Amino acid sequence: MRNRDRPVSALEQQPSTQNPSRKAEPLQKAQVVQTLELTYVATHMVPPVLLHCLNILTIGQYSLAGWFSAHQLVMTVLAHLSPYIPLSRYQLYAVRLPFNIMIAVFFGNVVGFAEFTLSLQSAVAGAAMGIVSTLLWVGGPKLISFGKSKRRPWNPYTAHEGNTAHLLVIIRMFNSSVFTPFFEEVYDRGFLYRAFFNLLSGWQYISFHAISLKAVNLISLAAAMFCFGAGHTRFACEPILGMLFALCMHGLVFYFDSLGPAILAHAVCNLMLGVWVVCAQDWMFW
């Protein structure tokens, strides 16, 4: 539900679709804002605290990327403060849960869920794609084997025992299968792809909300896939698997004109992958 008491921003007044041949009036502020949002991809590679602050201050509360930046800012600060906090990295991960809930609630009140429709057909397709994606993720390292990861696996049983470790696993499973699919699909498929699309179209659209989810541009698709893969580096071949996974999610969004099926597929994949991690003790996927 949208909050009807708040003033509607200029970005939200844009229609959901727009004639591609009709260019919007020049709007310097919107171009600056979207340029800043587009630079968010660099936060996978560099310490992002300053950029997150800039995003939040410049974009404001009515932006998808603004909310995502606020969420990531909190997580980044916690990661940098971890050596000075008397908590293990597994306990620090658990701190994500209340922030995830808060961001999701505010997102629903401020931005709304108009682009998240889900029919029976799209739900079945999303669930099936989630199963296929799980097989891709689990089998990928066996088919694409090169290099060795230096990253330490996320295994709370190495630092905790009994119920504490069990609870941390449950929190990780819940975060990864509920909030991670939502945040990543909203950002990567809902915003980032359309930001690239707008950039390559010469800023035809005042807001990326005005770009249809079915609009296809291969260069924008390749750029968004690359950025998603760059954010997944837990083991050597994961960037490749990440790009393939992103292609599958984009396919669902293009076909059904909705983020709903991709979020469901992502949730099913992460849930099944979590079950695999725990049952097979294959912690490298976490």
DSSP class per residue in 53-119:
HHHHHHH-TT-HHHHHHHHHHHHHHHHHHGGGSSS-HHHHHHTHHHHHHHHHHHHHHHT--TT----
Angle at 262 between CA 284 and CA 77, to 5 degrees: 55
pLDDT band, residue 149 (cuts 50/70/90):
low
> H/E element holding 158?
none
Assigned token pair, 114: 């108009």
Q: What pLDDT is attached to residue 215?
A: 92
d(CA 218, CA 230): 18
Q: Which of 126-135, 139-148, 158-167, 252-261 has the lowest mean pLDDT?
A: 139-148
Give me the numbers of helices (H) and strands (E) for the chain, helices first please.
12, 0
Whether residue 45 is predicted with pLDDT greater than 60 in this model: the reply is no
Q: Are residues 68 and 51 in contact, defined by beta-carbon separation less than 8 angstroms?
A: no
Kindly report, residue by residue over 265-283, the tens digit of the pLDDT.
999 999 999 999 999 988 8
Kindly report, residue by residue over 8-24, the tens digit of the pLDDT.
444 344 444 444 433 33
Other Cβ atoms within 10 Å of 137 Cβ, number: 21
d(CA 210, CA 255): 18
d(CA 152, CA 234): 8
Whether residue 122 is predicted with pLDDT greater than 80 in this model: the reply is yes
d(CA 74, CA 78): 6
Kindly report, residue by residue over 73-106, the tens digit of the pLDDT.
666 676 666 667 777 777 777 777 777 777 777 6
Q: What pLDDT is attached to residue 242?
A: 93
Q: What pLDDT is attached to residue 147?
A: 52
Whether residue 284 is predicted with pLDDT greater than 90 in this model: the reply is no
d(CA 41, CA 128): 29
Of 36, 37, 11, residue with least CA distance to 209: 11
pLDDT band, residue 25 (cuts 50/70/90):
very low
Q: Dihedral sign for Cα 101, 103, 108, 112, please.
A: negative
Q: What pLDDT is attached to residue 278?
A: 92
Kindly report, residue by residue over 207-224, the tens digit of the pLDDT.
677 889 999 999 999 999
